[in-house]
């Protein structure tokens, strides 16, 4: 990959939000009629893994001119083979919760990264409800065999931890139409990614859920989802962080397309607020480099996916502190450690803390000597590409971006970045 020598300008279209897509796929599968999911063009592999697995369970999903038509089954079937969630922790946990209500054994698996990530917080609740579980040995948590249904016996309140991820909460809530008897789940403190949990509640309510999660408890009871006939997916606001870093490193001028409403930005709305401090001018969707930067102190408890590109922007700008993101350690990689390592490969220094990092400002990126290690993490890889736009580099994992943004390399190439995939 060779650096861009002259800045240019062009459009930067955000991919559809996989967080919204996976949740609406779940509701469409459990609903009462056809759901038309619009704006699916450009969805990454995570959402497609969810779609594929639901189809193995008997859900019919059709393509229709930039949309998916989701038809729920009369009843879920035992899949003919294991359900492979690819790289998606969200899809895996949604699927585990769904099949935990079925009276057949179902095997689930994922890629090497997903095999190392735990689902213990969700599995603890399922075990307490009488679901039978068998998992991989050693460091791998997958494959996992799940056999439901939930016990019909009265059980004590289960406890769900929420300090590592909101995904188990979302999985329990959105699979609750399959529950046979009302349950109460006690909720732990220290909520992480609360806006993703709020998204799940909002989608459930849009489909008729009348439950609540007040006073530290989630009330689960049988209900029938009636989704809207049509849902339009918003853009993934977190992906704007790579456009911003690209502008910062190259001086390109970007017209951002698909920026969502604030309520759909899932915490990434802080990017627009921080732009002036990061050395960027953001005016009516156009992002350009500016001369002014400032020290930034940001809490990413609701937007930990921003940690890698944001840390790079802090290093190139006025520096700062990232806090509130210990749950970033439980992604495809330990994103606190992998971000520090990635920056170091480009000659940039950051210091890890328990819940984030300190980054000195005023630094200049340099071309890495060796192949850039990306830890199998798509956000690390995409950050590396945006940095390499200024320095050049050879970066491992040329397909990782497909997890969330299949058009990413084509997009940066349209600005003049030469990207050549090599095979060993």
- pLDDT one-digit tens code per residue, 19-33: 999 999 999 999 999
- What are the tens digits of pLDDT across the range 327-354? 899 899 999 999 999 999 999 999 999 9
- State residue 190's pLDDT score: 67
Token output for 308: 């890698």
> Is the pLDDT confidence value at 189 over 80?
no
DSSP-based three-state secondary structure for 38: strand
Block residue for tokens 């879920």:
76
> Nearest-5° angle of CA 61, CA 44, CA 143?
80
**pLDDT at 18 (0 to 100):** 97
Residues in the chain: 424
Q: What is the DSSP letter of 44?
A: -
Average pLDDT in the 144-154 region?
88
pLDDT digits (tens, 9 = 90+) for 230-244: 999 999 999 999 999
Full set of structural domains in the chain with CATH: 9-14+236-414 (3.65.10.10), 18-217 (3.65.10.10)
Compute how many other C-beta atoms are within 10 angstroms of the C-beta atom of residue 64. 11
Beta strand spans in 250-383 (E): 253-257, 278-283, 286-293, 296-299, 320-323, 350-353, 356-359
User: Rounded distance, CA 214 to CA 186, Å?
Assistant: 10
């Amino acid at each position: 990959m060779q650096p861009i020598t002259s800045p240019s300008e062009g459009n930067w279209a955000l991919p559809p939000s996989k967080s919204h897509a996976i949740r609406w796929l779940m509701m469409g599968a459990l609903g009462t009629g056809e759901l038309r999911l619009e704006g699916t063009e450009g969805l990454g592999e995570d959402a497609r893994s969810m779609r594929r697995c639901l189809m193995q369970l008997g859900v019919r999903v059709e393509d229709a001119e930039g949309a998916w038509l989701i038809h729920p089954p009369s009843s879920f079937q035992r899949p003919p083979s294991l359900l492979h969630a690819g790289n998606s922790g969200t899809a895996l946990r949604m699927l585990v919760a769904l099949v935990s209500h079925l009276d057949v054994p179902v095997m689930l698996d994922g890629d090497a990264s997903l095999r190392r990530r735990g689902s213990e917080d969700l599995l603890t609740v399922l075990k307490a409800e009488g679901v039978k579980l068998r998992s991989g040995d050693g460091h791998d948590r997958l494959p996992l065999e799940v056999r439901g249904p939930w016990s019909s016996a009265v059980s004590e309140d289960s406890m769900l931890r929420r300090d590592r991820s909101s995904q188990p909460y979302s999985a329990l809530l959105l699979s609750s139409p399959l529950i046979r008897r009302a349950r109460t789940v006690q909720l732990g403190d220290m909520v992480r990614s609360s806006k993703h949990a709020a998204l799940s509640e909002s989608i459930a309510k849009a489909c008729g859920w009348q439950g609540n999660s007040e006073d530290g408890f989630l009330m689960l009871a049988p209900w029938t989802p009636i989704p809207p006939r049509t849902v339009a997916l918003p853009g993934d606001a977190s992906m704007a962080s790579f456009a911003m870093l690209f502008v910062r490193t190259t001086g390109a001028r970007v017209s951002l397309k698909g920026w969502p409403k604030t309520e759909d930005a899932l915490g990434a709305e802080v990017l627009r607020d921080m732009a002036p401090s990061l050395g960027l001018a953001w005016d009516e969707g156009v992002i350009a480099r500016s001369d002014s930067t400032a020290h930034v102190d940001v809490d990413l408890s609701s937007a930990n996916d921003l940690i890698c590109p944001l840390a790079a922007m802090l290093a190139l700008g006025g520096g700062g502190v990232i806090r509130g993101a210990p749950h970033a350690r439980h992604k495809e990689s330990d994103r606190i450690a992998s971000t520090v390592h990635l920056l170091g490969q480009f000659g940039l220094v950051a210091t890890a803390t328990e819940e984030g990092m300190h980054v000195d400002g005023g630094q200049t990126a340099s071309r890495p000597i060796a192949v850039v290690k990306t830890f199998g993490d798509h956000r690390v890889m995409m950050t590396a590409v945006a940095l390499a736009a200024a320095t050049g580099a050879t970066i491992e994992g040329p397909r990782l971006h497909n997890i969330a943004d299949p058009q990413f390399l084509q997009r940066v190439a349209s600005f003049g970045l030469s990207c050549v995939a090599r095979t060993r």
